[in-house]
C-alpha cells in the first residue's frame, strides 16, 4: 500500500516536472525522493513518470493518477480539521425525531436556527410519536427528539421549546361559531366529537379531558393524527380539540375557536435528549436555542 509521503512526493514531481525543484519544495534531497516515486510506481503497478537527461514528464497513467492523488491529499489534510469540528459539535450528524404536529409548527424555525449556528451539521429527520422517540433515544438511534410531555427527567434532559393554546376546530358553519365567547364544556353537550386515541395520542387525549369535560357518548371517531382530525372536521363529521398551530395546515371549511379555562399555554413541546448522550452537536443545538431565546431550559 502506498503512503501519503509517496503521494506528496509524486504530486510535487508532477507539478514541478523537475526532481531538483520538487526535492527542494519537500525539503529533502533527490535520492530519497526518487526512491519514494519508485516505491509508489511498484505499488500502483504502472510507470507514472518518465525522465531522461533533459526532461521529466508524466505518462498517460501518471496524468490520470495526479487528479486522484491531489484529492487524496486534500482529504488527508481535511481529516484532522473535520475530526476537531465534530468534537466541538460544529460538524457531523444529528439525528432528530419530531412529532407530526411539530412539523407544521416550530420545526421549520428550529431548522433555520440550526442552519445558521451549526451549518455543517447534517440533520437526519425522523417523524415519530413521542413514545417511539423515547424508545429510539434509549436505543441510541436518536440524538434528540421534539416530544410531548411527560418527560422522565431521571433519564432525559429537556428544553421547553414551545407552548401554544388548545383550541376547538369546528366546521365553519357550525352553531358554535356564533357564540361571542370562549367555548365551555357545557356547549359541547350532544355535539359530535372527533377524539384522540387514548393509546396512540395519549398526551392530547389527556389534555382534552382535563380542560373540557367530555361525554364519551359524543365521540363519533377516534384518531391519532391532527391532520386527519382537522380533515374530518372540514368534512362535517364533528368538532375536535387541536393545538393552535393546526390552523397553519390551511384546511378550508374549518374555524378554530378559543376554549375557556387555562388553555392558552396548554400544549407543550420539548427538545429532549439522554443525559448520557455523547454527541457534541446536541450541546451546540442547545447553545443556539439559548442564544435565539427559543423556549427555555428545563434540565434536571
CATH of the domain at 23: 1.10.10.10
Is residue 231 domain-resident? yes
Is residue 263 domain-resident? no
Whole-number pLDDT of residue 298: 45
- Burial class (CB within 10 angstroms; exposed 0-12, middle 13-18, buried 19+) of 28: middle
| 173, 237: one domain | yes
Average pLDDT of every residue of the chain: 88
Whole-number pLDDT of residue 293: 63
H or E, element range at 122: strand 121-127
How far is Cα 68 from Cα 63, in angstroms, rounded to an integer? 9
| 182, 248: one domain | yes
Whole-number pLDDT of residue 199: 87
Whole-number pLDDT of residue 79: 67
Is residue 196 domain-resident? yes
H or E, element range at 276: none
Taking 50 as the pLDDT cut, the residues of the chain under it are 297-300
Q: Are 145 and 97 a contacting pair, CB within 8 Å?
A: yes
| 111, 153: one domain | yes
| 225, 281: one domain | no
Is residue 264 domain-resident? no
Q: Of 32, 49, 36, nearest to 7 (Cα)?
A: 36
Whole-number pLDDT of residue 300: 37
Give residue 11's domain range.
4-87
Whole-number pLDDT of residue 90: 58
State the helix-helix crossing angle for 4-16 and 60-87, rounded to 10 degrees: 130
Q: How many CB atoms lie within 10 A of CB 169?
A: 26
**Total domain count for the chain?**
3
Which residues have C-beta within 8 Å of that of residue 36, sequence separation ≥ 6?
A: 5, 6, 9, 10
| 98, 178: one domain | no
User: Scanning the structure block, which residue is given the C-alpha cell 480539521?
Assistant: 81
| 292, 221: one domain | no
Domain end position, chosen among 87, 114, 131 = 87
Is residue 280 domain-resident? yes
Record the cell numbers describing residue 65, joined without a space. Answer: 493518477
What is residue 130's three-state secondary structure? helix
| 14, 47: one domain | yes
Q: How many CB atoms lie within 10 A of CB 65?
A: 22
Give the tens place of pLDDT for each residue, 164-215: 999 999 999 999 999 989 998 888 888 999 999 988 888 999 988 886 666 6
Record the cell numbers describing residue 52, joined without a space. Answer: 531522461
Give the tens place of pLDDT for each residue, 110-142: 999 888 888 888 899 999 989 999 999 999 999
| 171, 121: one domain | no
| 27, 176: one domain | no
What CATH number has the domain bearing residue 234?
3.40.190.10
| 99, 80: one domain | no
Whole-number pLDDT of residue 297: 47
H or E, element range at 13: helix 4-16
Whole-number pLDDT of residue 274: 93
What is residue 2's three-state secondary structure? coil
What residues pair up with 166 in beta bridges, in sequence order? Answer: 243
Q: Are 223 and 229 a contacting pair, CB within 8 Å?
A: yes
Record the cell numbers describing residue 226, joined without a space. Answer: 391532527
Record the cell numbers describing residue 297, joined without a space. Answer: 431550559
| 195, 154: one domain | no
Domain end position, chosen among 87, 109, 130 = 87
| 101, 154: one domain | yes
Give the torsion through C-alpha atoms of 244, 107, 299, 117, to 10 deg.
-140
Whole-number pLDDT of residue 159: 94
Domain end position, chosen among 49, 70, 87 = 87
Amino acid at each position: 500500500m502506498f503512503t501519503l509521503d509517496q503521494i506528496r512526493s509524486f504530486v510535487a514531481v508532477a507539478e514541478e516536472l523537475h526532481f531538483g525543484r520538487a526535492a527542494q519544495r519537500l525539503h529533502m534531497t533527490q535520492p530519497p525522493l526518487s526512491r519514494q516515486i519508485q516505491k509508489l510506481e511498484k505499488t500502483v503497478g504502472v510507470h507514472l513518470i518518465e525522465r531522461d537527461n533533459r526532461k521529466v514528464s508524466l505518462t498517460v497513467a501518471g496524468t490520470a493518477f495526479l487528479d486522484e492523488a491531489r484529492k487524496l491529499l486534500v482529504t488527508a489534510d481535511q481529516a484532522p480539521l473535520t475530526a476537531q469540528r465534530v468534537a466541538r459539535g460544529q460538524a457531523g450528524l444529528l439525528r432528530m425525531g419530531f412529532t407530526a404536529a411539530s412539523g407544521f409548527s416550530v420545526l421549520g424555525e428550529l431548522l433555520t436556527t440550526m442552519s445558521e449556528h451549526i451549518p455543517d451539521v447534517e440533520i437526519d429527520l425522523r417523524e415519530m410519536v413521542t413514545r417511539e422517540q423515547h424508545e429510539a433515544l434509549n436505543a441510541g438511534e436518536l440524538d434528540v427528539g421534539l416530544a410531548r410531555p411527560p418527560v422522565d427527567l431521571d433519564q432525559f434532559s429537556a428544553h421547553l421549546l414551545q407552548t401554544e393554546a388548545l383550541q376547538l376546530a369546528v366546521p365553519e358553519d357550525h352553531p358554535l361559531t356564533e357564540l361571542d365567547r370562549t367555548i365551555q364544556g357545557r356547549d359541547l353537550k350532544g355535539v359530535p366529537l372527533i377524539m384522540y386515541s387514548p393509546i396512540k395520542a395519549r398526551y392530547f387525549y389527556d389534555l382534552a379531558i382535563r380542560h373540557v369535560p367530555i361525554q364519551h357518548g359524543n365521540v363519533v371517531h377516534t384518531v391519532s393524527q391532527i391532520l386527519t382530525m382537522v380533515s374530518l372536521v372540514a368534512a362535517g363529521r364533528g368538532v375536535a380539540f387541536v393545538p393552535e398551530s393546526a390552523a397553519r395546515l390551511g384546511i378550508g371549511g374549518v374555524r378554530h375557536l378559543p376554549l375557556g379555562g387555562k388553555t392558552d399555554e396548554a400544549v407543550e413541546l420539548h427538545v429532549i435528549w439522554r443525559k448520557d448522550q455523547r454527541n457534541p452537536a446536541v450541546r451546540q443545538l442547545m447553545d443556539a436555542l439559548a442564544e435565539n431565546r427559543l423556549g427555555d431550559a428545563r434540565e434536571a
